[in-house]
Structure 1
Amino acid sequence: MTERELEILALLKRNPLIAQQSIAEKLGISRSAVAGHIMNLTHKGVIKGKGYILAEARYTVVIGGANMDILGCPVGPLQIGDSNPGSVTCSPGGVGRNIAENLARLGSDTHLISALGKDTYGQMIMEQCQQAGIDMKACIELNDYSTSTYLSVLDSDSDMHVAINDMAILERLSVAVLKSQEEIIRRADLIVVDANLSAESLEYILSNFSDRPIFVDTVSCAKAKKLAPFLSSIHTLKPNLKEAEQLSGMTITDACELPALANWFHSQGVKRIFLSMGSDGVFYSDEGVQALVPAIATQMVNANGAGDAFLAGLAHGWIQGWTTEESTKFAMGAAVVALSHIATINPNMSEISVKRVIKESLC
């Protein structure tokens, strides 16, 4: 689908009875152009009846954190222990939420299960998610907790220097809450979770839905430890090298040792593993096929969110039925799109923009 068709589809998902004129006004195009796009969507089988009845689509459920990201960026070298001139921006974030928004912008039908406070930040997150086309009906909104916040400060190289997160509200995304959404989780073609969830909630998901492919983002070394007892239930795992070393107990000193590290995870039941190697690229291993894929050269504006875009790219590739190699290259392109914008989510994220990055990297 084209970018314009994806925009129209997102509006139809939110309101199947929306008038063509209303769509035209929201997108700044003519009514006749909207009619043409809707005809194309009908021919493609995406729309299958009057009232914009949408064809049953394969969908992903993402379960994890939703934060307001507060980002400080100095204009020069970061001076520790001093006040630094620079810029401070706010944008919706959170690993699970970031993956969900990237997935939706790539064109995949996406549902998010998370916890928000009934406050200004929570309202901003809810509105942006809905505008991006994420189904938010399974999210809980709480009066007695504040929406999660993630405060980070970049260094002069636009990489994270330090961060603090306040995610107490996520403890309320309990097993009882997840059980209330069991039907939507079980019907999903793909489940994506992040390790921000409590150990109890992770155990519930990984123990009860392992008949579905489950993709897991390890988030950090501290949070990755919670996954150790449940590796056999994980289809696709995306750790960085430090997180993988901690989970396995292995220490890697040379790239030639990466296959052995991946094989250890396979011996624990993990079907696919994607090791993030930073500027060295990504090492993937899937059913005996292993490769180190070099990073795509790019000018980094903000490192926050690149890993989330990568996992969203993998999830999108799985839903589309692509090979692991195709999905990996696409995911790396998605990470580059994310890196090139100051906000955690690049508003220009789309399947078309990612494929353009991949094409340009081959020139």
Structure 2
Amino acid sequence: MTELSKKEQLYALIRANPFIAQQEIAAELKLSRSAVAGYIASLVRERRLLGRAYVLPDNRPILCIGAANLDRKLRASGTLAMGTSNPASAIESFGGVARNIAENLARLGATVALITAVGTDSSGRALLDHAEELGIDTRGALKLDDAGSGTYTAVLDKDGQMVVALADMALYDRINPAFLGLRQQQRATSSLIVADLNLGIEAIQTLQQDAARDGVDLVIVAVSEPKMERLPASLQGVRLLILNEGELAARMKRVLHSEEELGAACAELQAQGAQDVIVTLGARGLLFTSPGGGIERLEAPPAEVVDVTGAGDAFSAAVCLSLQGGSELALACRRGLQLAALTVACVDTVCPQLAPESFGALIQA
């Protein structure tokens, strides 16, 4: 391999992903870090590179970090009977909390990037191709040769309510502090980061510390009661925590019998460092922390329920897009409830009818 071809290959890698780390370039081209630095310096002298990648302030993306799965939904045709076979219909689609939020955001017209982990299998390629077709920047994704892409299988009753779900998501543990370090520049130049708790506790801690250092708002979205153990004891650096009442009870390690107890638990989370908290209550609406230190309540709008899968992710997307635009949390929650109502009335995990004008049509006050 000639010196010229090595430099041109390096230049091609940087053009394809301006956020690529020198360590990744070195591994890809089988070069030392010092050799990579030398080639980069040469390209800067030639003015083919103008320095490190920067994103203009008016186009900084919302960065979603977490799961991107192949979702399978099995809906019972009649009343479910345990311990035996049940007639059902099956739907396969793309899912994962971070990916779902990213798709909602992209369909609503936001600039979005996604950091996730996929296998180098057909499912992984399809997941990334679909995201890129929507305009989601997936250049920061981790592609694994030794792991299959994540899967999520949900069993729904005949009314569309989830009965049980099974998730194969061990590969997201590979999004660890070392890997996140390779994506530090991409994270630092984001307008807002939203991470799901499919990430491990050390990865979450890294995101907290770096978000505080870089001045980037961090939103953490819970995914299940068992995974609440991945939420660190200290919530310093968390702009907003979104979770449901069961996940809040799991965090508190006690049953929360009333809305007063839910509100007191939110205050405890704020004492642990979270700036704000939203507790979703399903069809009953939600609770959220107010600037004065109290708790406010919003009712859910009427909705025709076809399938509840993805409603929480739609809610989180509308909240994040509102916060990025400078809206107060109360308005963000109202928009989130509206988008969740649209989503539960749709058979798809992310409503395909969403468009940039959809966000403008949500409640404005």
Q: Give TM class, smaller chain.
A: 0.7 to 0.9
Q: Deviation string for 1:187-230 (max 9, x for gaps)?
A: 11111111111122112111222232110011112111221323
CA distance in 2, matches of 1:160, 1:229: 30
Letter in 1 for 2:169: M
Q: SS where residue 158 of structure 1 aligns? A: coil
Structure 2: distance between partners of 1:124 and 1:268: 40
1:60–1:354 distance in 2 versus 1, CA, 3 Å? closer
Determine if contact 1:71/1:88 at 8 Å carries over to the other structure.
Answer: yes
Structure-1 separation of matches of 2:275 and 2:295: 12
On the 8 A contact 1:65/1:170 being kept in 2, the answer is: yes
The 5 A counterparts of 1:187-198 are 187-198=189-200
Residue equivalent to 1:100:
102
The residue aligned with 1:59 is 61
1:163 aligns with 2:152: no
Kept in 2, the 8 Å contact 1:330–1:355? The answer is: no
Alpha carbons of structure 1 residues 347 and 174: separation in structure 2 relative to 1, 3 Å = same
Alignment partner, residue 180 of structure 2: 178
Residues 66-114 of structure 1: per-residue CA shift (max 9 Å, x gap): 1000111122222322322221111110011111111111111111000
Opposite residue 85 of structure 1, the aligned amino acid is: P
Cα distance, 1:325 vs structure 2: 1.5
Counterpart of 1:326 in structure 2 is 331
1:55 is displaced (CA, Å) by 8.5
Runs of 4+ residues over 4 Å off in structure 1: 354-359
Residues 256 and 351 of structure 1: is their aligned pair in 2 closer, same or farther, counting only changes over 3 Å?
farther
2:133: which partner in 1? 131
SS of match in other structure, 2:351: coil
Alignment of 1:269-348 (within 5 A): 269-288=273-292, 290-348=295-353
Contact 2:303 2:342 in 1 (8 A): no
Gaps of at least 5 residues in structure 1 are: 1-13, 15-53
Instruction: Give the greater-gyration-radius structure (CA).
Output: 2
Aligned amino acid, residue 78 of structure 1: L
Equivalents in 2 of 1:93, 1:193: separation in Å? 15
Contact 1:70–1:90, Cα closer than 8 Å, also in 2: yes
Describe the shift of the 1:61–1:272 C-alpha distance in structure 2 as closer, same or farther (beyond 3 A).
same
Deviation at 1:284, TM superposition (A): 0.7
For 1:57 and 1:196, the matched residues in 2 are separated by 27
Amino acid aligned to 1:335: A
2:268 pairs with one of 241, 244, 264 = 264
1-structure distance, mates of 2:356, 2:257: 36
Show structure 2 runs of 5+ residues with no match: 1-15, 17-55
What is the alpha-carbon distance in structure 2 between the residues aligned to residue 84 and residue 250 of structure 1? Answer: 35
Matched, 1:234 2:238: yes
User: How many residue pairs align between the two structures?
Assistant: 309
**RMSD over aligned Cα, in angstroms?**
2.2
C-alpha distance in structure 2 between counterparts of 1:301 and 1:163, whole Å:
18
Q: Which stretch of structure 1 is more off in the superposition, 341-350 or 242-251?
A: 242-251
Distance 1:177 1:162 in 2: 32
For 1:199, the equivalent position in structure 2 comes to: 201
Q: Encode CA deviations 1:213-265: one digit per residue, 9 max, x unaligned.
A: 11001111211122132312211001111211222345432223343222222
* Paired amino acid for 2:280: S
Residue equivalent to 1:353: 358
- What residue number does 1:43 align with? none
> Contact between 1:337 and 1:349, CA under 8 Å: does it hold in 2?
no
SS of the aligned residue for 2:300 comes to coil
> So what's the TM-score if we normalise by structure 2?
0.79
Q: CA deviation at 1:357?
A: 6.2
Q: Distance in 1 between matches of 2:363 and 2:86?
A: 37
Letter in 2 for 1:126: L
TM-score normalized with structure 1 length: 0.80
**Match in the other structure for 1:30:** none
Q: Distance in 1 between matches of 2:254 and 2:167?
A: 29
| Greater Cα shift, 55-64 or 238-247 | 55-64
How far apart, CA to CA, are the structure 2 residues paired with 1:109 and 1:326? 21
Identity rate, percent: 30
